[in-house]
Structure 1
C-alpha cells in the first residue's frame, strides 16, 4: 500500500463510521466496528473490513444491511470527499479479532496445562535430557 492509499483508507474508515452511525437507521445493524479499509491504487474501490460482535445471524444481518446501503452511504460520502470519483464500497466480514482471541485462549490453556505438569524429581533437565 502506498502512503496515499493508506491515508485514503484511514479517511474513509473515519467518514464511513460517522455516516453509518448518524445517517443509517437500519434495525439489522448490530454492534459493529470498521477495523480497516483497503483502497485500490486508482481509488476506485474500497474494501471495508467490519468486525461484528454477536451471533452468526447478527453478523450476517449487519453485513447484509451495510451491503444493501452501500449506494446510500456513497451518496453521503460524496460531499465529504475532495476527489472526483467516489470508490465503490465492498463490505467484508473481518474475523481477525475472533482469530486472535482463539489463539490467546489456546495459549492460556497450554500455559495452564504446563503449570500443572510436575517437574522431574531431579529438577530441570538440560537439552540432552540429563538432570
Structure 2
C-alpha cells in the first residue's frame, strides 16, 4: 500500500517539477529540458530527478543550473502542500535516450553489414 502512495507522489512531483522547470525558471540553460522521471526513497527523504534535454548544451551545465535552482523548486513544492516532508532533490541526467541512440547505431551497423 505504501509503495502505491509513493508511486502516486512520484507522478505528482514529475508533473509539478516539469511545470516549474518549463514555466517558472527563466534560465537559458533550461530551454528544451524535460524531467523524465522522479524516484522517491521509501521514507520520502530523497528524490532522484532524471532529466533529458535537446540541443548542444552539456549535461553538466544543466545539472549545475538545476542544482542551483533546487531551493526555489523545494519552496514551490512546500507551497503546494502535497507533501509534509520536502525531500532532498538530487538531479541526474537520464541516460536512457543516449543508450537508445547507441542501440540504434549498433542495429543500423549490423543491418548494413548483413546487406553486404
Structure holding more helix per residue: 2
SS of aligned partner of 1:86: coil
- Correspondence 1:39-50 to 2 at 5 A: 39-50=40-51
Q: Which residue of 2 aligns with 1:114?
A: 114
Q: Which runs of 5+ in 1 are unaligned?
A: 117-131
Count matched residues.
115
Q: Which residue of 1 aligns with 2:20?
A: 19
Q: Which residue of 1 aligns with 2:74?
A: 74
Q: Which residue of 1 aligns with 2:103?
A: 103
Alignment root-mean-square deviation, CA = 1.7
Deviations 1:14-70 (A, max 9, x none): 000001112111222242111111001111110000112233x53221111100010
Q: Which residue of 1 aligns with 2:29?
A: 28
Q: Which runs of 5+ in 2 are unaligned?
A: none
Post-superposition, which runs of at least 4 consecutive aligned residues in structure 1 deviate over 4 A?
none
CA distance in 2 between partners of 1:53 and 1:20 (Å): 14
CA distance in 1 between partners of 2:112 and 2:81 (Å): 51
TM-score (norm 1): 0.79
Report the structure number with the largest CA radius of gyration.
Answer: 1
Shift of 1:79: 2.1
Q: Which residue of 1 aligns with 2:90?
A: 90
SS of aligned partner of 2:26: coil
